[in-house]
């Protein structure tokens, strides 16, 4: 039992103080605050937290409103808290967060015995926060890796429209990114050119839309036949195709 009615966990990130969570013992509630910069936290005495951050030592106030060091703090002037404790949470000599506790019911709540218990607890808090941060970093790295792989897949799929994947296979490459200037291979291959006889005359009798449908229906028939015979289409040239067979 810390004796606190209200508590706040303030994280230290890149030299900034960010309110991350708050708890209320009277209502039994805990709230995730996200990461609110200290300068935007009207619910905290900034001067108390900044002193704790600077000195790396606990700040204990038996009657906060009577302490002249903080008489100009907007929060203390308005709320007039009584017992206040702000303590640093350290891990391996590094300040990771601040724990702010407050009791408005009585003065001198945070006596030496409670402070010693909280200092032991703060070591556990520091370890838990470090583990949580490591887990978050790991999840972020995994997500970035998944996104990068997905992006590479999408790029490869898009490039297949212009560079047949069979070319990459012949070069022994997994994707277009791994192809270097000058990469080549000598292979004996069969080249097939095929087009539609009298296509010009045929196309003149059709509308542009009918021409597109006609060409697409033709290519849908030709493409599978080429692939069935272990070939691939290298180029589409109007109504003609250039196919390669290994």
Position of tokens 């100009």?
Answer: 72
**Measured distance CA(168)–CA(175) in Å, rounded:** 7
User: By the 8 A CB rule, do 105 and 82 touch?
Assistant: yes
- State percent of the chain over pLDDT 90: 24
**Measured distance CA(58)–CA(73) in Å, rounded:** 18
**Measured distance CA(64)–CA(28) in Å, rounded:** 24
Please indicate, yes or no, whether the overall pTM of this predicted structure exceeds 0.75. Answer: no
Please work out, in degrees rounded to the nearest 5, the angle formed at the alpha carbon of residue 199 by the alpha carbons of 197 and 200: 130
Is the confidence at residue 176, as pLDDT, over 80? Answer: no
The tens digit of pLDDT for each residue in 56-111 reads: 999 999 988 888 899 899 999 998 889 999 999 888 888 888 999 999 888 888 87
Task: State the pLDDT at residue 42.
Answer: 92
> Mean pLDDT score of the chain, rounded to an integer?
85
Is the confidence at residue 48, as pLDDT, over 90? Answer: yes
Task: State the pLDDT at residue 45.
Answer: 94
**Measured distance CA(115)–CA(122) in Å, rounded:** 10
**Measured distance CA(94)–CA(56) in Å, rounded:** 9
**Measured distance CA(13)–CA(94) in Å, rounded:** 12
Q: 199-210 in b/e burial notation, b at 16+ Cβ within 10 A?
A: beeebeeeeeee
Confidence of residue 43 (pLDDT cuts 50, 70, 90): very high
Position of tokens 């490591």?
Answer: 134
């Amino acid at each position: 039992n810390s004796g606190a009615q209200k508590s706040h966990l303030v994280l230290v990130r890149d030299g900034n103080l960010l309110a991350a969570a708050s708890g209320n013992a009277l209502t039994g509630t805990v709230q995730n605050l996200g990461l609110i910069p200290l300068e935007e936290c009207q619910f905290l005495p900034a001067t108390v937290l900044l002193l704790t951050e600077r000195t790396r030592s606990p700040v204990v106030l038996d009657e906060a409103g009577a302490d002249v060091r903080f008489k100009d703090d907007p929060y203390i002037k308005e709320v007039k808290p009584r017992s206040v404790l702000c303590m640093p949470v350290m891990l391996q000599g590094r300040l990771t967060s601040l724990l702010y506790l407050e009791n408005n019911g009585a003065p001198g709540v945070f006596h030496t015995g409670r402070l010693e218990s909280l200092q032991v607890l703060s070591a556990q808090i520091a370890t838990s926060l470090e583990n949580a941060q490591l887990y978050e970093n790991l999840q972020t790295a995994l997500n970035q890796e998944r996104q990068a792989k997905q992006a590479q897949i999408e790029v490869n799929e898009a490039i297949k429209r212009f560079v047949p994947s069979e070319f990459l296979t012949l070069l022994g490459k997994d994707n277009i990114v791994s192809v270097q200037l000058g990469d080549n291979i000598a292979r004996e291959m069969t080249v097939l050119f095929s087009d539609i006889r009298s296509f010009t005359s045929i196309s003149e009798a059709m509308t542009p839309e009918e021409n597109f449908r006609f060409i697409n229906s033709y290519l849908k028939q030709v493409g599978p036949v080429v692939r069935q015979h272990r070939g691939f289409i290298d180029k589409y040239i109007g109504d003609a195709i250039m196919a390669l067979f290994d």
